[in-house]
Amino acid sequence: MSTPVDTTSASPYGTLPPTSTPALRKPISLPRLLEMRARGEKITMLTAYDATFAAVADAAGVDCILVGDSLGMVCQGLSSTVGVTLQDMCYHVQSVERGLRRSQATAWLIADMPYGSYLESREQALRSAAALMQAGAHMVKLEGGGWTTETVRFLVERGIPVCAHLGLTPQTVHALGGYRVQGKSVEAAALLKTQAHALQDAGAALLVLEMVPAALAAEVTAELTHCATIGIGAGKDTAGQVLVMHDMLGVNLGRMPRFVRNFMTGAAGVREAMHAYVQAVKSGEFPDNQLHAW
Ligand code: KIV
């Protein structure tokens, strides 16, 4: 059970809207996300790691907030996501969940299962997923196809919604040899498609496709019947899009991936930038396949 947030005492720091703010849109649920996919409305997803940015993203109309293990890089200063622990993830999920309750609390909250939290066994995965759900997540995300398919099935059968993740899977960056585009060869594309179908059959409702050729992402999206693809560096023809918040706000400390747009350009503030992102994705204006010519 999460503890109610005290909104009565004034804070000298940044204040969030009180819990009594009337909701302006219906809360996003899993059936609603799948309905959006079915009628061709693009799904918007953005990462957030703390209460304030989560509340702002929610108020800006973002459909899904992902507490990504990218927090290892953008919050903790690590060089990869491998060092992020389950404890770290639960801390950030709790913060985001509190922020959502201080806003409209309408966004769908997804939590990454961090490196090492589902490698040992399906039972270990279930314990880790349960900890993230108790921290406030509505869905967990885990990387990979192949052996992870049975883990996805095990969690879904136990009532835990799952988002899968194929293509560039940052937790295996050392095995992949760097942050490289995936699925370029005929064999790699065929394997990715097979894995996507298997993950859908295992019950994954969402599937992040990261850094794969736009044509491959479009084919996977068209072939899957009850799993919505969410692209990042995967072209415009996926069912939805996700970006790392710091990237789209132009505060990336490293090299900006070429598929990212800085939505702060021309925006009066963070909320406006996030709203511009939502509108650009919904209208199909972002991303631009020219920038995805892998
Ligand atoms: O950790 C993360 O932020 C992610 C997104 C890049 C999809 O997995």
Average pLDDT of the chain?
92
Cα 18 to the center of its chain, rounded Å:
26
pLDDT band at 231 (very low <50, low <70, confident <90, very high): very high
pLDDT value, residue 68: 98
User: What pLDDT score was predicted for residue 254?
Assistant: 81
pLDDT digits (tens, 9 = 90+) for 40-99: 999 999 999 999 999 999 999 999 999 999 999 999 999 999 999 999 999 999 999 999
Nearest CA to ligand 1 atom 3: 68
d(CA 53, ligand 1 centre) in Å = 16
Q: Does residue 259 carry a pLDDT above 60?
A: yes
Protein residue with its CA nearest to atom 1 in ligand 1: 68
Q: Which atom of ligand 1 is nearest to 170's Cα? A: 8
For residue 184, give every residue at least 6 positions away whose Cβ sits within 8 Å of its Cβ, in sequence order, or none.
213, 294
Per-residue pLDDT of 167-200, as tens digits, reads: 999 999 999 988 999 999 999 999 999 999 999 9
Question: 246-268 in b/e burial notation, b at 16+ Cβ within 10 A?
Answer: bbbbeebeeeeeebbbebbeebe
Pocket test for ligand 1, best of 64, 70, 132, 165 (most atoms within 8 A of CB): 70
**Could you give the 3-state DSSP secondary structure of residue 47?**
strand
What's the pLDDT score for residue 16?
56
The structure tokens listed for 166 are: 């194929």
Task: From the candidates 150, 187, 210, 223, give the one annotated as an active-site residue.
Answer: 210
CA nearest ligand 1 atom 8, residue: 68
Identify the band that residue 102 occupies on the pLDDT scale cut at 50, 70 and 90: confident
Q: Which residues contact 28 (CB under 8 A, 6 or more apart)?
A: 63, 64, 106, 107, 108
- Candidate of 113, 242, 249, 260 to mutate for ligand 1, largest count of ligand atoms within 8 Å of Cβ: 242
The pLDDT of residue 289 is 76
Q: Which residue has the tokens 């059936």?
A: 31
Which residue reads 């044509």 in tokens? 215
Q: What 3-state DSSP class applies to 194?
A: helix
- Name the pTM for this structure: 0.93
| pLDDT at position 293 | 55
Whether 208 is in the pocket of ligand 1, judged by its Cβ within 6 Å, is: yes
If you average pLDDT over residues 112-121, what whole number do you get?
98
**For ligand 1, what atom is nearest to the CA of residue 45?**
7
Residue 210 known to be catalytic: yes
Confidence category of residue 25, pLDDT binned at 50, 70, 90: confident
Nearest CA to ligand 1 atom 5: 68
- Decide if 191 contacts 185 (C-beta within 8 A): no
182 lines ligand 1 (CB under 6 A): no
- Report d(CA 67, CA 69) in Å as an integer: 7
CA of 209 to the centre of ligand 1 (A): 10
Given a cut of 80, whether residue 20 has pLDDT beyond it is: no
79 or 104, greater pLDDT? 79
pLDDT at 220 over 50: yes
- What lies within 8 Å, CB to CB, of 23 at 6+ separation is 104, 105, 106
Pocket test for ligand 1, best of 244, 246, 256 (most atoms within 8 A of CB): 244
Q: 247: Cβ below 6 Å to ligand 1?
A: no
Q: What is the DSSP letter of 292?
A: G
Task: Please report the pLDDT score of residue 10 as a whole number.
Answer: 53
